[in-house]
Amino acid sequence: KPIVALESTLISHGLPYPDNIKVAKESISAVEDNGSVAATIGIINGKVKIGLNEDDINILAKDKNVQKVSNHNINLSIFKKENAATTVASTISIASIFGIKFFATGGIGGVHLNAENTNDVSADLYSLSEHSNYVICSGAKSILDLNKTYELLETLGITRIGYKTNYMPGFWFSETNHQVDDNFEDISDISNFLRLNTKLNHKKSILIFNKVPEINAISKEKINEWIERALLKAEQNKINGKALTPFLIKEINNFSNNKTLKANVSLIINNADLAGKIAKNFYS
């Protein structure tokens, strides 16, 4: 069936209330308007749920104690019967168990800036290489070292294709200077390629890059300025580990007068829409 998995960390930790509720709901509608089925994944009272309902989404969007779980700590939230939101890494781990191939998100995690000193590399990259999901995203988040992220994707055997783009997108900005492995101009060609991959039993994920809608794209120069300010603040406040990504995004939303938030909202829904279209085409 054309099922598209959606993650929940962007609801709990990526976006402020009430934008997070709007994005969660509109992403589901975007998938379903294309004839596919949306399955938002998260953990409610220690139970993994595939297909969060409105009440579940409200909990993850509003409750202050929601944990952010990746592959290393998801077991603990289940054990402690917590409410928890799944990242790209843990969402695709769960989706894979149940044979859900498609997954849409905003931007994946990756190699952080200054990773040569901190070793902070998102588990998203390794999870993508351990599973064979088809992931629609706008590249990796702008706050990361996108050069190193691009290279590590290649090293890990993850195919990077563009939908109407020759370059890997930069999340809030349209294009990095990193060439995609191939650019596809239409959805049926992407489906054909993914069908072949399924036949080949290719064991790694495939990233399908979709640019932020043009009217909400921000210049790379502006973004880099905000990132520098946010990184400085993170260092001063000794923010690290799983708190770093949400902290940086929040700070930059402030610096940008919510321009980045607007871009983030629009690209997530746009990616859900494309995922709904590709999944529908793939299974028909």
Q: Which amino acid is at 174?
A: S
163 contacts: CB under 8 Å, gap ≥ 6: 136, 183, 184, 187, 190, 208, 209, 210, 274
Q: Which residues of 172-190 are buried (b: 16+ CB within 10 A; e: fewer)?
A: bbbbbebebeeebeebeeb
If residue 43 lies in a helix (H) or strand (E), which one and from where to where? strand 37-44
9 contacts ligand PSU (rule: CB under 6 A): yes
Judged by beta carbon distances under 5 to 8 A according to partner kind, the member of Mn ion, ligand PSU, none in contact with residue 139 is none
Q: Which two tokens stand for residue 277?
A: 């279209």
Taking CB under 6 A as the criterion, the residue among 2, 7, 128, 227 binding ligand PSU is 7
Number of Cα atoms under 13 Å in the Cβ half of residue 44: 16
164 is catalytic: no
Question: In a 10 Å sphere around its CB, with 0-12 CB exposed, 13-18 middle and 19+ buried, how is residue 18 labelled?
Answer: exposed
| DSSP symbol at 112 | B
Least separation in angstroms between residue 15's CB and ligand PSU is: 7
Taking CB under 6 A as the criterion, the residue among 14, 162, 170, 276 binding ligand PSU is 14
94 contacts ligand PSU (rule: CB under 6 A): no
266 contacts ligand PSU (rule: CB under 6 A): no
Piece of 86-94, 157-165, 184-192, 204-212 that binds ligand PSU (CB under 6 A): 86-94
Would you say 132 or 264 has its CB closer to ligand PSU?
A: 264
42 contacts ligand PSU (rule: CB under 6 A): no
Closest CA to 34 of 202, 207, 191, 215: 191
253 contacts ligand PSU (rule: CB under 6 A): no
214 is catalytic: no
Judged by beta carbon distances under 5 to 8 A according to partner kind, the member of ligand PSU, Mn ion, none in contact with residue 175 is none
Taking CB under 6 A as the criterion, the residue among 5, 57, 84, 88 binding ligand PSU is 88
Q: 3-state DSSP call for residue 54?
A: helix
Give the total of residues touching Mn ion (CB under 5 A). 1
Judged by beta carbon distances under 5 to 8 A according to partner kind, the member of ligand PSU, Mn ion, none in contact with residue 14 is ligand PSU
By Cβ distance, which residue is nearest to Mn ion?
120
Residues numbered 165-224 forming contacts with ligand PSU, rule: CB under 6 A: none
In angstroms, how far apart are the furthest CA atoms of the chain? 53
Least separation in angstroms between residue 237's CB and Mn ion is: 16
The answer to whether residues 263 and 172 touch, using CB atoms and an 8 Å cutoff, is yes
**C-beta atoms surrounding 158 within 10 Å:** 18
Residues numbered 232-251 forming contacts with ligand PSU, rule: CB under 6 A: 242, 245
Q: Which residues bind ligand PSU (CB under 6 A)?
A: 7, 9-10, 13-14, 70, 87-89, 105-107, 109, 122-124, 242, 245, 264, 268
What amino acid positions are annotated as catalytic residues? Answer: 7, 141
